[in-house]
Amino acid sequence: MTTAPAARPRVPNFSSGPCAKRPGWSLQNLADAPLGRSHRAKIGKAKLERAIELTRTVLKVPAEYRIGIVPASDTGAVEMALWSLLGARPVTMLAWESFGEGWVTDVIKQLKLKDTTVTTAGYGDIPDLSKVDWSNDVVFTWNGTTSGVRVPNGDWIAADREGLAICDATSAAFAQKLDWPKLDVVTFSWQKVLGGEAAHGMLILSPRAVERLVTYKPAWPLPKIFRMTSGGKLNEGIFKGETINTPSMLCVEDYLDALDWAVSIGGLDALMARANANAGAIADWVAKTPWVDFLATDPAIRSNTSVCLKVVDPEIAALPADAQAAFAKSLASTIEKEGVGYDLGAYRDAPPGLRIWCGATVERDDVVALTAWLDWAFAKTKAALPKAA
């Protein structure tokens, strides 16, 4: 394709975090934010409580699970869980992408837990989940943001498990069905599927996780922002909007706006359908496009949010690894210069390629328009390669 496509994405934001704002978003929608007011004032607490309860409603979280707003995005929520809960029994760490590998580093090198099993898989693949020992606590990502791989479902998680299932679900929540009876700790951040603002995390605890919190004391000191108990009792206020540190009420308002939008379009089922339609548009394009393929070869484990692609054109694939990486970077840069797709490059630790966010706030027509521009950019970038003598 040498002629630039006529149709352009109306919203060219395809970053995998922070992600595109919801359709129709405007700063004016946040005019009710209680700026300049204390988050502990009646109005602030009411907003925070509503954010928790709307989260429960949209995600269909069981009534007996606690939901808390915590510091430092999904990272903070995961760290709170790891530092507060692990060490009571052996641990299994599952990692198949960058963030999962980061949690392995924390457990092995920071917490220094000796009785730890680490099971890994390369980018685009997933370990044999049937071999997981559920007498252990198990830490895993539901959706690998940097690899485009997700667990297919929760069937592999033992219903009668002795250990806790600790799940980083930051690119899965609101786009994929989480199997709540199989999960004890779930974390995510606002800036992913709902396109909220960064720096705030969500921590969801099952009754089993709460029991561990109040009966187990880690051998290491806990920073203030990790402490969820006092005097051997759960700090229930955290799960009623009494945050450990000061939240941004503007960000809270933005999250409420996104949740209200989710409810207005039909809730979780509608959000998942939108993400599936977006990922489906990519799949339709890949099926007819010889130069590109999914990083995850098995459709059962492909993400419908952080869709990761690789360039498989024989001429490009024959280049040295650094040249392949340069080609992928140039491809993404060409798209960005045209203003039709931003932040499309693969994650820095992942294999070279493209990563296209297809979460619920993205419109399918924009994804379709982007694919035409990708074909154009590929032809242009390949034509610019030095010719062999």
Question: Which string of DSSP letters, residue by residue, matches 287-317?
Answer: HT-TTEEESS--GGGB-SSEEEEEE--HHHH
Q: Could you give the CA distance from residue 140 to residue 92 in angstroms, rounded to a whole number? A: 9
Q: What is the pLDDT along the chain (389 residues), one digit of tens a residue?
A: 579 999 999 999 999 999 999 999 999 999 999 999 999 999 999 999 999 999 999 999 999 999 999 999 999 999 999 999 999 999 999 999 999 999 999 999 999 999 999 999 999 999 999 999 999 999 999 999 999 999 999 999 999 999 999 999 999 999 999 999 999 999 999 999 999 999 999 999 999 999 999 999 999 999 999 999 999 999 999 999 999 999 999 999 999 999 999 999 999 999 999 999 999 999 999 999 999 999 999 999 999 999 999 999 999 999 999 999 999 999 999 999 999 999 999 999 999 999 999 999 999 999 999 999 999 999 999 999 988 64
* Best CA proximity match to 164, nearest among 115, 217, 130, 205: 205
Task: In whole angstroms, give the CA distance from residue 319 to residue 177.
Answer: 40
DSSP per residue over 176-215, as a string?
S---GGG-SEEEEETTSTT---SSEEEEEE-HHHHHHHHH
Q: Residue 115 is encoded by which pair of tokens? A: 């009785």
Three-state DSSP at 135 gives coil
CA distance linking residue 199 with residue 70, whole number of Å: 9
| Residues 163 and 172: beta-carbon distance below 8 Å | no
Residue 51 is predicted with a pLDDT of: 98
* pLDDT recorded at residue 296: 97
Residues 6+ apart with CB under 8 A from 266: none
Task: Spell out the residues 6+ positions from residue 73 whose beta carbon is closer than 8 angstroms to its own.
Answer: 189, 190, 191, 198, 199, 200, 201
What's the pLDDT at 387?
80
Q: How many residues does the chain have?
A: 389
> Each residue of 18-44: b (16+ CB within 10 Å) or e?
bbbbbbebeeebbeebbeeeebeeeeb
Query: Which two tokens mark 85?
Result: 């809960």
For the chain, which domains are there?
A: 27-262 (3.40.640.10), 267-383 (3.90.1150.10)
Asked whether the beta carbons of 316 and 374 are under 8 A apart, the reply is no
**Confidence (pLDDT) at 389:** 46
The structure tokens 């690998």 sit at: 144
Q: How far is CA 29 from CA 256, 257, 294, in A?
A: 10, 7, 37
Q: Say what the pLDDT of residue 1 is.
A: 53
DSSP characters over 139-158:
EEESEETTTTEE-S-STTS-
> What DSSP element (H or E) covers 67?
strand 66-71
pTM of the model: 0.97
Distances (CA, A) of 221 to 35, 47, 83, 107, 225: 35, 32, 9, 15, 12
Q: Which two tokens stand for residue 327?
A: 């080609």
Q: How would you classify the pairing of strands 137-141 and 91-95?
A: parallel
**What pLDDT score was predicted for residue 388?**
63
The span from the CA of 125 to the CA of 298, in Å, is: 8
Of 330, 284, 336, the residue nearest 307 (C-alpha): 284
